[in-house]
Amino acid sequence: MTFFSKQLLSIGLITIFVFLTKTVTATEIQSIIPDSLVTKSPKQLIESIQHSTLEESKIYEIALNKISDSDLILAQQHYNIAVFFYKKEEYERSTYYLNKTIKLAKKIEDDTFLSKCYIKLGNAYLKDWKNQKSLDSYDLALKILQKNKNIKYELAVNSGLAMILRRMQQLDKALEVCKNALRLIENSSYKNSIDHVKFLTIISETYLDQRKYDSVLHYADIGIAMAEPLDYSIGHIDLLTKKGIVSYNRNKLPQALEHFYSAEDILINKKITQKKSILNLYYFLASCFYEQKEYNKAISYLKNTEPLLEEKDSRNIRFIDINNLFAKCYKVIDKKQESIYLEKVVALQAQFQHATNKTVNKLHKQNTQKLENKLKARYKEYVFFILLFVCVFIMFILFKYFRKQKSNKVRFDTLIQKINTLEPKEKNQTKSIIIDDKKVNAVLNGLHKLESQEFFLNTDCDLRSMSKKVKTNTTYLSKIIKTHKAASFNDYINDLRIEYALKRLKNDKKFRSFSVKSIALEIGYKTDNSFTKHFKSKTGLNPSYYIKKISNQS
């Protein structure tokens, strides 16, 4: 078979495989993988994927899946393919393989690898100007990083978020993200690294958007000093361009051109192909020549950007700027070309605004959700502390209650023991008291007689009425009671009433069934509050507690 025939056969086989991927299932395709692919190594299959179209690569993917030893190895292989296409700026192919990698990472439950994949996916969408999808990917990465801290990945997410916020003109938030990242870097091994320079570039860009030129120069100079020893050419070019833009905006065109030419030298010597750096540099070089009215020279620099511009770049504000500058230059030398570029500008502005609105809505929703989550967390904290306080308070009340119950029981037992001791003594007491002073003796005997008659139970029992009963005056009676009863008249009467109540409640079941108010009236008190007050003062117990305990003993 000739070489030409072999080539035709290979092309035919590939065509058949491409057709089959569209019409049969993966299981069916696996059964018809040609022997030539079965014998290939994983490395050879990966190279075949990398150098074929998306449709052509499917047969190689199936072969790779079939010979892979584990999901972990297969996930790493897919990730490497995604990175290959990312570096080639084929972001759709990159996101295709990253999504496949993410499915495998979930399957093997590797959170660190999964967060790495989400960050790379966010970066790919960011480069492809799919801002909303980029935000979604970063958000998923952050959710994992909240559980598993990783400074490297946190910095990567913050870098992407800051760039999206800049695109959306949410500059204060972008600065906040950058400054938080710089604080993280300051206390980590990433200090004076390429990552450090990247954040200095983003923060200088953000200050440039805010027209805070001194801050731009401050961070640009720090970044350039770091980028040179690191041989980080892209960072060096971007920061020199920022310095040139500051001079351009301050209308110092010679100084601006000096910075731009320095950046262009690095671009050419280091053979830099990064689109963003080239577009920015050549746009501002063209802008300088436009200001100097060198329109053809300005157009020549703008034409250097055209091979880099693609349909998807319509969402990039710099794409609009370039076309707008084309129109301004052609306004002087070619009106027809001016009209063509002005039409482009109008269409691009509409597309850009649409994409911006979608992402702003997404950011607003995320910020609202974060606020709601904070409020919910704060509410939960408040509820927790309120419940904790209530529990402690209830425990304290219960502790006080049981302590009081214990104390009341001790008081009650002591009181009952005292009553039981007093009752026999009272039965054996003589009815008369012999004192040398006949007048005092007469008063005391009178008091004893009134006690026996239970005169103290009358509601009208007072010092005046009792002094009449014992045939003396109030002053003399008060003095005798104080001397011989060791109490004031009121305390003397209250003691008699409470002792009576204690004994009767103990021995009279029917009396115990009375209400506290009725008991109070029965023993000479005009109100139940007065009775309760004096009862508690003498015994340390409430009447209701004493009645309940006596009833339980019966």
Q: Is 503 part of a structural domain of the chain? A: yes
Q: Is 142 part of a structural domain of the chain? A: no
Determine which of 56-70, 341-355, 424-438 has the lowest per-residue pLDDT on average.
424-438
Q: If you ran DSSP here, which 8-state letter would residue 312 be given?
A: G
Task: Report pLDDT digits (tens) over 359-415.
Answer: 555 555 555 565 566 666 677 777 788 888 888 888 888 877 777 777 777 777 777
Letter string b/e over residues 71-107, b meaning 16 or more CB atoms within 10 A of that residue's CB: beebbbbbbebbbbbbeebbbebbbbbbebbbebbee
- Residue by residue, what is the 3-state secondary structure of 341-407? HHHHHHHHHHHHHHHHHHHHHHHHHHHHHHHHHHHHHHHHHHHHHHHHHHHHHHHHHHHHHHHHHHH
pLDDT band of 203, cuts 50, 70, 90: very high
Task: Report pLDDT digits (tens) over 507-548.
Answer: 888 888 899 999 999 999 989 999 999 999 888 888 988 888
Task: Report pLDDT digits (tens) over 73-106.
Answer: 999 999 999 999 999 889 999 999 999 999 999 9
- Cα distance between residue 473 and residue 423, in whole Å: 32
Q: If you ran DSSP here, which 8-state letter would residue 190 be given?
A: T
Q: Based on C-alpha coordinates, what's the Rg of the chain?
A: 49
pLDDT beyond 50 at 129? yes
**Which of 70 and 378 is assigned the larger pLDDT?**
70
* Structural domain range at position 441: 402-461+499-553
CA-wise closest residue to 298 among 309, 308, 307, 286:
286
Task: Report pLDDT digits (tens) over 465-496.
Answer: 999 988 999 999 999 999 998 899 999 999 99
pLDDT band of 315, cuts 50, 70, 90: low
Number of domains into which the chain is organized: 1
Task: Report pLDDT digits (tens) over 328-367.
Answer: 999 988 888 888 888 888 887 777 666 555 555 555 555 5
- As a dihedral over the C-alpha atoms of residue 148, residue 150, residue 155, residue 158, rounded to 10 degrees, the angle is 0
The answer to whether the beta carbons of residues 342 and 327 sit under 8 Å apart is yes
- As a dihedral over the C-alpha atoms of residue 80, residue 86, residue 88, residue 91, rounded to 10 degrees, the angle is 130
pLDDT band of 31, cuts 50, 70, 90: very low
Vertex 399: Cα angle to 398 and 403 (nearest 5): 115
Q: Is 421 part of a structural domain of the chain? A: yes
The helix-helix angle for 253-269 and 275-291 (nearest 10°) equals 150
Question: Mean pLDDT score of the chain, rounded to an integer?
Answer: 83
Structure tokens at 496: 């008699």
Residue 369 is predicted with a pLDDT of 60
The answer to whether the beta carbons of residues 512 and 505 sit under 8 Å apart is yes
- Cα distance between residue 69 and residue 29, in whole Å: 19
Residue 68 is predicted with a pLDDT of 77
pLDDT beyond 80 at 243? yes
Reduced to 3 states, what is the DSSP secondary structure of residue 199? helix
pLDDT beyond 50 at 33? yes
**Which of 552 and 260 is assigned the larger pLDDT?**
260
Q: If you ran DSSP here, which 8-state letter would residue 485 be given?
A: S
What value does the mean pLDDT take over residues 442-466? 90
What value does the mean pLDDT take over residues 43-62? 87
CA-wise closest residue to 171 among 209, 215, 211, 133:
209
pLDDT band of 175, cuts 50, 70, 90: very high
pLDDT band of 425, cuts 50, 70, 90: low
Q: Is the dihedral of CA 28, 32, 38, 44 positive or negative?
A: negative
The H or E element containing residue 521 is helix 516-522
Structure tokens at 494: 């209250």
Q: Which amino acid is at 417?
A: Q
Q: Is 407 part of a structural domain of the chain? A: yes
- Cα distance between residue 532 and residue 441, in whole Å: 34
Q: Which amino acid is at 524?
A: G
Structure tokens at 153: 């990945």
- Cα distance between residue 183 and residue 189, in whole Å: 12
Q: How many other CB atoms are there within 10 angstroms of residue 532's CB atom?
A: 18
The helix-helix angle for 194-209 and 213-230 (nearest 10°) equals 160
pLDDT band of 252, cuts 50, 70, 90: very high
Q: How many other CB atoms are there within 10 angstroms of residue 506's CB atom?
A: 20
- Cα distance between residue 251 and residue 213, in whole Å: 13
The answer to whether the beta carbons of residues 67 and 61 sit under 8 Å apart is no
The helix-helix angle for 543-553 and 335-428 (nearest 10°) equals 60
High-pLDDT (> 90) share of the chain, %: 42
Vertex 398: Cα angle to 392 and 401 (nearest 5): 140
Residue 285 is predicted with a pLDDT of 95
pLDDT beyond 90 at 208? yes
The answer to whether the beta carbons of residues 187 and 227 sit under 8 Å apart is no
**Which of 159 and 412 is assigned the larger pLDDT?**
159
Residue 307 is predicted with a pLDDT of 86
pLDDT band of 11, cuts 50, 70, 90: very low
